[in-house]
Amino acid sequence: MSHAISSWGPVRVYFRDWTYFRLVWRTALFGSVAQPLMYLLGVGLGIGELVDSGPGGTDALGGVSYFAFYATALLATTPMFVLGQEALWPTMDVFTWSQAHQAMIATSLTSRDVALGKGLYYSLRGIFTCTGVALVLACFDDTRSWGLVAAVPVGVLTGLAFAMPIAAWIATRQTDNSFSAVLRFGIIPMFLFGGAFYPVDQLPSALAVMARMTPIWHGIALCRGLVLGGLDAATGIVHLLVLLGFVVAGSVAAAISFDRRLRP
């Protein structure tokens, strides 16, 4: 571990989490394959058959099958769930229960190192998660595309767009009493209304505007466009900049809130 000791501070924080993750990465990768596969079989194939056989079913989806429409959304929604939850209880643990972050600050590491190091670890989880989903999508003709390669980092950015702001907020919490509400009234509604199951144009205008303001809509639209095509470069750049904006803002907020929480 001598290489980690002499490395950049956030990398040393990352190595701490990697030491644990390398013991469970196979399970994490299997889950990233098994879960989207079940969603695809249950929703993509099951409901998809009903949608595609209906009058004008594929016209409302831009001419693609419902399976392809829904499957490509999983490249963004899966890391949203995985990294969102990783930023909740596991991050609360290192602040409150195990107090690993306080132990880190007792060394030469700074609170900014800790915040950025968590971001690096979330990125690692996102890479494993999105790679698993991409492997599943590569097994089907409707979604087998070189665009999957480009969609993986977009999925990671989408997950970070949730994980970093949540981690910043976690640093201000003393208990996990409100965590379930974050899932019920935050992440799950975005999953339902963010364009994974149907185009947001089908929503009432006010809800459609709100959906377009969320990072998950931008992540889904960009992943879908990369894999299925039909997305112009200017629109793709806008989606990418919005995701980067959420990640940067969340990282800055995390650096500030981590410092306030860990400052002696």
pLDDT in tens, 52-105: 666 655 666 777 888 999 999 999 999 999 999 999 999 999 999 988 889 998
What is the number of structural domains in the chain?
Answer: 1
As a whole number, mean pLDDT of residues 15-29 equals 82
pLDDT of residue 92: 92
pLDDT of residue 255: 94
pLDDT of residue 6: 47
Contact 66, 58 (CB under 8 A): yes
Indicate the residue type of 68: A
- Its domain, for residue 167, covers 2-262
pLDDT of residue 8: 79
Question: What tokens does 146 get?
Answer: 């070189």
* Rounded Cα–Cα distance for residues 186 and 58 (Å): 29
Contact 83, 222 (CB under 8 A): no
Question: What tokens does 215 get?
Answer: 């990072």
pLDDT of residue 2: 43
As a whole number, mean pLDDT of residues 218-235 equals 94
CA angle (242, 244, 246) in 5-degree steps: 70
Is pLDDT larger for residue 62 or for residue 221?
221
pLDDT of residue 238: 97
* Rounded Cα–Cα distance for residues 243 and 123 (Å): 14
Lowest mean pLDDT among 3-12, 102-111, 187-196: 3-12
pLDDT of residue 54: 62
Is pLDDT larger for residue 122 or for residue 58?
122
Phi, psi for 112 (deg, rounded to 5): -65, -40
